[in-house]
Amino acid sequence: MKVDGQSVIGRCGLLEHHIIGGPACMQIDMGLNVFITFPRTVADLFHLLNMVMKFRTAFVTLSS
């Protein structure tokens, strides 16, 4: 297969990713992106809150 005079191997071949604006083999699913990113962000915030609380309530001996 040839595109603009350049040789391309198949639909998802080795050389196709070098052509700008050519057919893509993968797509971004925005729904899945939000479904994964939002819970991950919430989990990261809880982890950050947990670290802050551990530093604030850390045991300190009287001799220090």
Tens digits of residue pLDDT in 2-53: 555 555 455 555 444 455 666 667 777 888 999 999 999 999 999 999 999 9
Residue type, 23: P
pLDDT at 16: 47
Q: Dig out the tokens for 6 from the structure.
A: 């350049």
Please report, to the nearest 10 degrees, the dihedral formed by the alpha carbons of residues 45, 32, 20, 3 taken in order: 160
Taking the model in full, what pTM does it have? 0.51
pLDDT at 36: 93
Residue 1 has pLDDT above 90, yes or no: no
User: How far from 46 is each of 43, 50, 56, 57, 61, CA to CA, in Å?
Assistant: 5, 6, 15, 16, 28
